């Protein structure tokens, strides 16, 4: 854990540009609770795959295993019908994702009209994970009023080729940022630390690319080697290197919200990362380690809890924010992270 007696630069930058709050997020992407927080509605925000378990890329870090935890659009229903069913079960928002095509994008075009209906008729928040974005997709997403667009930004051609198996370059990923910005969409880029087989390669370049565009929120995640993939025995990147990157990101984007996302190693490493995120000026943490809420408050920050994806950091178009959780209701929360 961080033991500095001098306030880190990132924390000071954060204080200058933001209120003294720390946002914590617990979407329904997995079963989770800590002694500090047990979500009241695990179905409030859920991930949906429009390709089922299929992905054409079979990237070395994932090989479509992440898709197994998502809700698939069944052959006999469309995305709107699935959303309506989820809404009836207490879901307020969805992440529309899926496997990638060989061109690097999630096949969203067929589902755009359904996204419009989900927002307009069901009143649900819809964020998409797009992958590489074409001008046609960007224009379509803007037309249907999607709430936000998430995509990984990769800053090394070697990682694009060797890990993602794509015949693209970093310029293609920056072009995605540009076409999304041209359409005025909320851009929620992700940087995966250690994506090149546990080593830092291109993360700093990715940050430089992202800083050139008006993004809504930057999400930082850390490689989690998955069993059954070519990376299953790869150690994640060193914690200190990750925490140094938190500080670098805060300095590079002083007035942009930066969150530590749900993808990161568990156990003591997770605790160190969470403490580092708080100490070095990040704005929010998804699925915080047990004790992180108390630690944030010990740093003079007021904890705000949300049962949504950590990409949803803006105030809604209706003038209201998304629902917070009353801390006073958490006194009886128990058990451990799982």
Tell me the pLDDT of the chain (338 aa) as tens digits: 554 556 789 999 999 999 999 999 998 777 788 899 988 888 899 999 998 877 877 776 775 667 688 889 987 889 999 999 999 999 999 999 988 889 999 999 999 999 999 999 999 999 999 999 999 999 999 999 999 999 999 999 999 999 989 999 999 999 999 999 999 999 999 999 999 999 999 999 999 999 999 999 999 999 998 877 888 889 999 999 999 999 999 999 999 999 999 999 999 999 999 999 999 999 999 999 999 999 999 999 999 999 888 988 864 334 334 444 444 333 333 322 22
Tell me, what's the pLDDT at 329? Answer: 39
Instruction: Identify the pLDDT of residue 6.
Output: 64
Q: Which of 110, 118, 207, 106 is nearest to 156 (CA)?
A: 207
Residues 73 and 83: their CA atoms lie apart, in Å, by: 9
Q: Which one, of 17, 1, 19, lies nearest residue 9 by Cα?
A: 17
The answer, as to whether pTM is greater than 0.85, is yes
- Rounded Cα gap, residues 246 and 218, in angstroms: 11
Q: What pLDDT score does 36 carry?
A: 93
Give the integer Cα–Cα distance in Å for 122 and 87. 8
* Domain residue extents for the chain: 9-33+41-314
**What is the Cα–Cα distance from 10 to 239, expressed in whole angstroms?**
17
Q: Which fold has domain 9-33+41-314?
A: TIM Barrel (3.20.20)
Q: Which residues pair with 94 in a beta bridge?
A: 46, 126
Non-local (6+) Cβ contacts of 171 within 8 A are: none
pLDDT for the residue 159: 95
Please give the Cα distance from 58 to 334 (Å, whole number).
38
Give the Cα separation of 162 and 58 in Å (integer).
11
């Amino acid at each position: 854990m961080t033991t500095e007696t001098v306030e880190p630069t990132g924390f000071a930058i954060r204080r200058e540009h933001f209120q003294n709050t720390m946002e914590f997020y617990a979407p329904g992407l997995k079963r989770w609770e800590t002694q500090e927080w047990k979500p009241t509605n695990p179905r409030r925000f859920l991930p949906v795959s429009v390709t089922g378990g299929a992905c054409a890329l079979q990237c070395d870090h994932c090989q479509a295993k992440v898709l197994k935890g998502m809700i698939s659009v069944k052959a006999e229903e469309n995305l709107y019908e699935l959303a309506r069913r989820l809404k009836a079960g207490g879901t307020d928002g969805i992440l529309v994702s899926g496997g990638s095509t060989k061109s690097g994008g999630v096949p969203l075009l067929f589902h755009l009209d359904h996204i419009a209906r989900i927002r307009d008729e069901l009143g649900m928040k819809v964020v998409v994970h797009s992958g590489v974005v074409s001008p046609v997709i960007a224009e379509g997403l803007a037309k249907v009023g999607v709430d936000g667009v998430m995509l990984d930004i990769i800053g090394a051609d070697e990682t694009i080729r060797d890990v993602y198996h794509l015949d693209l370059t970093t310029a293609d990923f920056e072009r995605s940022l540009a076409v999304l910005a041209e359409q005025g969409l909320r851009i929620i880029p992700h940087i995966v630390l250690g994506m090149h087989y546990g080593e830092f390669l291109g993360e700093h370049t990715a940050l430089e690319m992202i800083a050139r565009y008006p993004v809504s929120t930057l999400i930082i995640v850390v490689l989690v080697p998955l069993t059954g993939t070519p990376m299953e025995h790869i150690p994640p990147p060193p914690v200190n290197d990750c925490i140094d990157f938190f500080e670098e990101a805060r300095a590079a984007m002083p007035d942009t919200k930066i969150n530590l996302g749900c993808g990161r190693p568990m156990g003591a490493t997770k605790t160190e990362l969470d403490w580092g995120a708080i100490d070095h000026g990040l704005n929010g943490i998804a699925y915080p380690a047990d004790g992180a809420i108390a630690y944030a408050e010990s740093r003079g920050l007021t904890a705000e809890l949300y049962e949504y994806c950590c990409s949803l950091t803006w105030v809604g178009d209706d003038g209201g924010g998304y629902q917070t959780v009353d801390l006073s209701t958490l006194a009886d929360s128990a058990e451990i992270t799982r």
